[in-house]
Amino acid sequence: MRIDRVTLRIVRLPLRAPFETSFGACHAKTCILVSLDGEGVTGWGECVADVEPYFGEETLASAWYAMRDFLVPALLRAAVAAADETHRVFARVRGNRMAKAALEMAAWDWFARAAGVPLYRYLGGTRDRVPCGVSIGIQPTVADLLREVEGYLAAGYRRIKIKIKPGWDLEPLRAVRRAFGAIPLMADANSAYTGDDVRALRALDGLGLTMLEQPLAWDDLEEHRALQEVLATPLCLDESIRHAADARHALDSGAARVVNLKPGRVGGHAESLRIDVVCRARGAGLWCGGMLETGIGRGHNLALASLDGFTHPGDTSDSRRYFDEDITEPRAQMGADGTIPSREAPGIGYEPRAARIEALSLQTQVMRRC
């Protein structure tokens, strides 16, 4: 692969409805899109870094800086022989995994397109349909929550995830159980609890949740291990898992039994494949998370989630879950059976709509090989 031109764009897409987590409410998806041009092929990626450093340390601004000043110049100097070697180009830069992932995943898309192969097969995926779950933000009232859950169950979603925080946990989850019975149900706290909240978390143990995601601090595996010891509900880690070694440590120490894998959080597809190996070897749970991605990042997540090591439905929902109009053609569309078909077209299989992306771009930077 010889890349001659890299384009970074900041785009902003309004969300159909605000999405509220324990960090606060989000009204629009603002992110960096990257495209790599070379040898007549274009590969696309999307950076999951948010504007604010709440979910992780990286931000849109830090990722833009890391890409513009270090990662893109390295890629423009490099010759990469295979998709799974791309991450080596960025090895000199420490951390900055969200910035690296956007470029690394664009390179995978580039290689798959150059080979004329769908990305899901290129990654080793075997599923021609990906089972989908949905993540429901914190709602103003329990009645609002029940209405949301009812709508998503009617649409076919195979698992419901509810965002929780202290004061919005036991009561809404109980209400969902009472109204809808034994549906696959889980909760995600985005680190809203501390070691002092063990009683509140133990109170959730009787609800039969499939798992409880990231209740405690992102950088405290030991505290999660101690919590798992007193909970029957399996713990799942999201923010805590930066790479395959984190997954190994979390699973082997008993800090978690399930991994939420977001390729955009761990540095890209190659590291994701290593995490798949770690989870498989231990019989651990694995599923693909999401960060409200546009069609580009969503296409990457869906391709990865087609691997048969993914044991649970992911946050790989229909594009309309978040956007009235996406930036790809087609958009990711879930059937009534709660699955999204894997795309058989080359690469991610969702074509970026150039004119719409241009119209939504707040800032663009083109960098060329010299």
Q: Which residues of 134-173 are buried (b: 16+ CB within 10 A; e: fewer)?
A: bbbbbbeebeebbebbeebbebbbbbbbbbbbeebbbebb
In the residue annotation, 161 being an active-site residue is answered as: no
Spatial contact of 32 and 68, defined as CB atoms under 8 Å apart: no
x/- mask, Mg ion, residues 188-227, rule CB under 5 A, reads x------------------------x--------------
Catalytic residue among 29, 100, 161, 262: 262
Tokens of 161: 């995830």
Question: By the criterion CB under 6 A, which residues form the site for ligand OSB?
Answer: 55, 135, 188, 190, 238, 289-292, 315, 317
Q: Give whichever of 248 and 262 is closer to ligand OSB, judged by the CB atom.
A: 262
In the residue annotation, 262 being an active-site residue is answered as: yes
Q: Give whichever of 49 and 89 is closer to ligand OSB, judged by the CB atom.
A: 49
Q: Give whichever of 233 and 240 is closer to ligand OSB, judged by the CB atom.
A: 240
Q: Using CB under 5 A, count the residues that bind Mg ion.
A: 3
Tell whether residue 293 is a contact of Mg ion (CB under 5 A): no
Q: Give whichever of 55 and 64 is closer to ligand OSB, judged by the CB atom.
A: 55
Question: Which residue has its beta carbon closest to Mg ion?
Answer: 238
295 binds, among ligand OSB, Mg ion, none (CB under 5 to 8 A by kind): none
x/- mask, Mg ion, residues 160-189, rule CB under 5 A, reads ----------------------------x-
Residue type, 273: L
Least distance to ligand OSB, CB of residue 280, Å: 22
Q: How far apart are CA 42 and CA 151, in angstroms?
A: 38
Least distance to ligand OSB, CB of residue 172, Å: 16
Least distance to ligand OSB, CB of residue 364, Å: 25
* Nearest Cα residue to 126 out of 308, 273, 294, 281: 308
Tell whether residue 20 is a contact of Mg ion (CB under 5 A): no
Q: How far apart are CA 45 and CA 99, in angstroms?
A: 10
φ/ψ of residue 234, rounded to 5: -65, 140
Q: Give whichever of 103 and 136 is closer to Mg ion, judged by the CB atom.
A: 136
Report CA-CA distances (Å) from 114 to 38, 71, 108, 268, 297.
10, 22, 10, 19, 19
Q: Give whichever of 42 and 339 is closer to ligand OSB, judged by the CB atom.
A: 339
Please state at what angle helix 269-282 crosses helix 97-115, rounded to 10 degrees: 100
Please state at what angle helix 170-180 crosses helix 142-155, rounded to 10 degrees: 40
Least distance to ligand OSB, CB of residue 232, Å: 22
Contacts of residue 178, Cβ cutoff 8 Å, sequence gap at least 6: none
β-pairing, 129-131 with 339-341?
antiparallel
Least distance to Mg ion, CB of residue 218, Å: 10
**Binder to Mg ion among 238, 246, 318, 326 (CB under 5 A)?**
238
Catalytic residue among 100, 161, 163, 165: 163
Tell whether residue 315 is a contact of Mg ion (CB under 5 A): no
Q: How far apart are CA 283 and CA 251, in angstroms?
A: 10
Least distance to ligand OSB, CB of residue 21, Å: 6
Contacts of residue 358, Cβ cutoff 8 Å, sequence gap at least 6: none
Interacting residue ranges for Mg ion, rule: CB under 5 A: 188, 213, 238
Residues labelled as active-site residues: 163, 262
